[in-house]
Amino acid sequence: MNVPEILAEIRSSWIRRVVNSMARGAGVRENFQSQLERFYDLLNQAVVTGDPAWVDPILYDWANAPTQSDLREGEKNLSAVLNRMLTTTYDLGREDLTEQDAMELLGAVLPVFTYALEKAARYEMETRIAYISNELVDVQTKLERLDRSKSSFISVAAHELKTPLTLIEGYTSMMRDIAKSGNGGDGQLDSLIDGVNTGIRRLRSIVDDMIDVSLIDNNLLSLNFQPILLNQIFTLIHNELTESIETRQLIFDLQEFPGSDVMFFADPERLYQAFRNILSNAIKYTPDGGRVAIAGRILPGFIEVTVTDTGIGISAQDQETIFEKFGQLGNVSLHSSGKTKFKGGGPGLGLPIARGIVDAHGGTIWVESEGHDEKKCPGSTFHILLPVRTEPPDPKIAKLFGVDSKQEKEK
């Protein structure tokens, strides 16, 4: 037999053996089989013409098929597949052919396989390099983002901290002048001390926010679970914000909803903080005379609270970034212009903290808005989904409140 005849004779058993030894799963096998058939035909051409370059197109396709994740796992190694084909050819020659036919076959296919293996090694090296370069670009992008966030942090933190410091500086220097002049300042001292206190309170709240963000970032936010009622939390926040609501002539619509009077376990201080951040924003980003409403409903295992405003709204692309640290860093001039003043931006930590707190409770927070438009004011609705825990996660605390936790019951 000549070589093409030998190749035709062992074609089906060669393909079957290689498929069985390499491919797992019916779908994979079918695909692999048709590819092997293509390879075998090209091998045949290479042998007949004496030009091993006939196998180039399929080698090229195979070398470029692996995805980034295949490469990461070191799978789909082309050289391994070629080696398996060569071994199968040896085995079949030994088992099914006469010694002479086997020698002839190997003599003809060996140069083609040697060529293919060299080419495969080169392709593999190239794809490996391409993969590493991609990874490098990824890392570089991440580093650049981190670097941007770091410089944004420095500029916003500096700006945020400077404003109250200037305030404190101004008031204390006026106090010094009064002290120097020797007269009591005609009762001015009280208002100056109030001014200093406002500055200090603002500094403290910025530093506290920074500490909270760092706790959340490092998964260190610990919750103090207690039985709570949402309507109590909302009333307290309402009281705290009454002055701003009145100054800004806003309607604050606090609705009783199914779930607002359901007692469940959560951290009341942290939830207060999260809702206060969301409600302060609703006030800040709603023009004077607008409306802010709290509503909600009970869902299986959860309570959903919605905070809706008639404010400037949030564009689709910002609806996710606003929950990221310093997500709203664009315009530093907006910062520190007041806690509840219209569009008075802050350090951009309010929503990341709110999300951190809701996440730590096992809940979810997201926003819906038709877009950002300061004229039409499409408004925004923040959704806060909180799990209704009938017992605190820690059995010791459960005992304290006379609730048998699941773990205790199982004992």
Q: For residue 292, what are the β-bridge partners? A: 252, 309
How would you classify the pairing of strands 291-299 and 251-254? parallel
**Conformation bin of residue 258: beta by default, left when phi > 0, alpha when psi is -120 to 50:** beta
User: Is residue 350 a contact residue for ligand ADP (CB under 6 A)?
Assistant: yes
User: Is residue 327 a contact residue for ligand ADP (CB under 6 A)?
Assistant: yes
User: Is residue 345 a contact residue for ligand ADP (CB under 6 A)?
Assistant: yes
Q: Quick one: 32 or 382, whose CB is closer to ligand ADP?
A: 382
Counting Cβ atoms within 10 Å, is residue 100 exposed (0-12), middle (13-18) or buried (19+)?
exposed
In 3-state terms the chain splits into helix, strand, coil percentages (rounded to 5) of: 65, 10, 25
Query: Which of 362, 391, 368 has the alpha carbon at shortest distance from 380?
Result: 368
Q: Quick one: 260 or 369, whose CB is closer to ligand ADP?
A: 369
- Figure out which of the listed residues 259, 268, 296, 347 binds ligand ADP, where binding follows CB under 6 A: 347
Amino acid (1-letter code) at residue 398: A
User: Is residue 346 a contact residue for ligand ADP (CB under 6 A)?
Assistant: yes
Binding mask 263-302 for ligand ADP (x = CB under 6 A): --------------x---xx--x-----------------
Using CB under 6 A, count the residues that bind ligand ADP: 21
Q: Quick one: 287 or 387, whose CB is closer to ligand ADP?
A: 287
User: Is residue 311 a contact residue for ligand ADP (CB under 6 A)?
Assistant: yes
Neighbours of 214 (CB within 10 A): 12
Query: Please, what is the Cα angle at 289 between 285 and 292, to 5 degrees?
Result: 55
User: Is residue 322 a contact residue for ligand ADP (CB under 6 A)?
Assistant: yes
Least distance in angstroms from the C-beta of 350 to ligand ADP: 3
User: Is residue 380 a contact residue for ligand ADP (CB under 6 A)?
Assistant: yes
* Structure tokens given for 395: 């059995």
Least distance in angstroms from the C-beta of 326 to ligand ADP: 8
Amino acid (1-letter code) at residue 209: D
Q: Distances from the Cα of 104 to the Cαs of 8, 99, 173, in angstroms?
A: 14, 9, 102
Q: Quick one: 267 or 309, whose CB is closer to ligand ADP?
A: 309
Q: Which residues bind ligand ADP (CB under 6 A)?
A: 277, 281-282, 285, 309, 311-314, 322, 327-328, 345-352, 380
